[in-house]
Amino acid sequence: MSEYVVDLSGIRKTYRGGVEALKGIDLQVPEGCIYGLLGPNGAGKSTMVKILTTLIKKSGGTGTMLGRPLGDRTALQQVGLLPEHAQFPDYLTGRQVIEFTAGLQNVPTAETKQRTDELLDLVQMTEAQQRKIKSYSKGMKQRIGIAQALVNDPKIVFLDEPTDGVDPAGRRDFRVLMKKLREEGRTIFINTHILSELEPIVDRVAIISEGQLRGEGVLDDLRASTPEYSIEFEGTLSIEAANAMKAEAIKVESGLITVSTSYATEVQPVIDQLRQENLVIVKIERRTQSLEDLFIDLIDSTKAATPPPIPS
């Protein structure tokens, strides 16, 4: 049995008409982590989630989910899903939506009531539970969507664009909730294009573009460039000091010095030099490559590597 909750090898999907949405994806998702699947529009992210949740049949490749072959209904009983553009029946109340999913997943009736109460509390929808879905805001619907995805006490939760249309306060609550779910030992698979939402909470990411995996792993390992310290100051640095710094590959500009290093101790001589020349240090900042930078770098490198079309 695979040690991963999701273990995919060479997953391909070709739609009718020959459009290749996935061109052989290998992916391993460890248990109990927050896993981010990133990619531009049309990259194949949703296709991937749909294959995992049986909404789409793969054209090729093999894979397991929770130790069972893809498509196994027993495995699906331990899976929660909030699909992209989730549409809940508007004649149901928020509570009924959660109970509906519980019924579909064969959750015992007594357990359903208790879990529904807990989940409504968790997503802060207890007060609005008896209102019809059609009266909910987008953010409220997403909260109910997350709650229904958890009603069967799933081992793995797929969230496809979960913060789409959610206000900033709702997004903060979402991040807190994701961390809580991870602490409970669940694996959370988030499919999103809002990178800033993912960066503070994600353990591992996979970046796909044009149906192919461009990078996968722990975020810090994926970051290609070394962190850098930037020091902003007022005044003019002496030419001798500037030349000495440049000789040590330190970037010196007007009012700004940038030191590429992971270690703060290597920045101390620069600060000492500025103090010695009585220059006023305005700001010192440690900068790492953001997830957005990483994402754009990977996508750009893909585009650069793709040969231009041959003119007919």
Partner 1 sequence: MKPYLTILLDSFRMLRSKAIFWVSLIITLLVAVLYLSLGFDEKGVTLFFGLTSFETELIRKGTPSAERLYLGIFTNYIAEIWLAWIAVLLGLISCGSLFPNAMKEGSAGMLLTKKPSRFGVFLAKFVGSLFFVAIQVILFVLVVLIALRWRVGEWNFSIFWYVPLVLLVFTYLYSFMVLIAVKTRSVMTALILTLVLWGISSIVGSIEGSLYQFTQTDTSVVEISPSKENNEFEDLEDSQATDRWYTRVKAIYGFLPKTGRTMEIADRLLVVNGKRGYNRGSMLDIMMGNVSQEESAMAEATTLAANRHSVSYAIGTSSLFALVMLSLAAWLFCRRDY
CA distance 270 to 245: 8
Contacting residue, 19, 42, 55, 138, with partner 1 by CB under 8 A? 55
In contact, 237 and 252? CB cutoff 8 Å: yes
Nearer to partner 1 by Cβ, of 89 and 235: the residue is 89
Based on DSSP, count helices (H) and strands (E) in the chain, helices before strands: 11, 14
Which one-letter DSSP state was computed for residue 265? G
Q: Establish if 116 lies at the interface with partner 1 (CB under 8 A).
A: no
Q: Establish if 42 lies at the interface with partner 1 (CB under 8 A).
A: no
Could you tell me the smallest distance in angstroms from the CB atom of residue 41 to partner 1? 15
Token pair 């990133």 is found at 38
Could you tell me the smallest distance in angstroms from the CB atom of residue 166 to partner 1? 16
Contacting residue, 1, 17, 18, 91, with partner 1 by CB under 8 A? 91
Among 36-44, 82-90, 189-197, 232-240, the segment contacting partner 1 (CB under 8 A): 82-90
What are the backbone dihedrals phi and psi of residue 124, each rounded to the nearest 5 degrees, phi first?
55, 50
Site for partner 1 in 154-193 (CB under 8 A): 160
Q: Establish if 88 lies at the interface with partner 1 (CB under 8 A).
A: yes
Could you tell me the smallest distance in angstroms from the CB atom of residue 245 to partner 1? 57
Inter-CA distances, 178 with 14, 121, 190, 216, 287, Å: 33, 15, 10, 20, 26
**Chain mean position to CA 255:** 36
Q: Establish if 79 lies at the interface with partner 1 (CB under 8 A).
A: yes
Q: Establish if 20 lies at the interface with partner 1 (CB under 8 A).
A: no
Q: Establish if 86 lies at the interface with partner 1 (CB under 8 A).
A: yes
Q: How many residues bind partner 1 (CB under 8 A)?
A: 31
Q: Establish if 53 lies at the interface with partner 1 (CB under 8 A).
A: yes
For 84, the 3-state DSSP assignment is coil
Q: Which DSSP string do the residues of 198-216 spell out, in sequence order?
A: HTTT-SEEEEEETTEEEEE
Nearer to partner 1 by Cβ, of 144 and 274: the residue is 144
Q: Establish if 106 lies at the interface with partner 1 (CB under 8 A).
A: yes
Outline where DSSP puts E strands in 192-309: 204-209, 212-218, 228-234, 251-253, 256-260, 280-287
Give residues in contact with partner 1 (CB under 8 A).
15, 50, 53-57, 73, 76-77, 79, 81, 83-92, 96, 100-101, 103-106, 148, 160
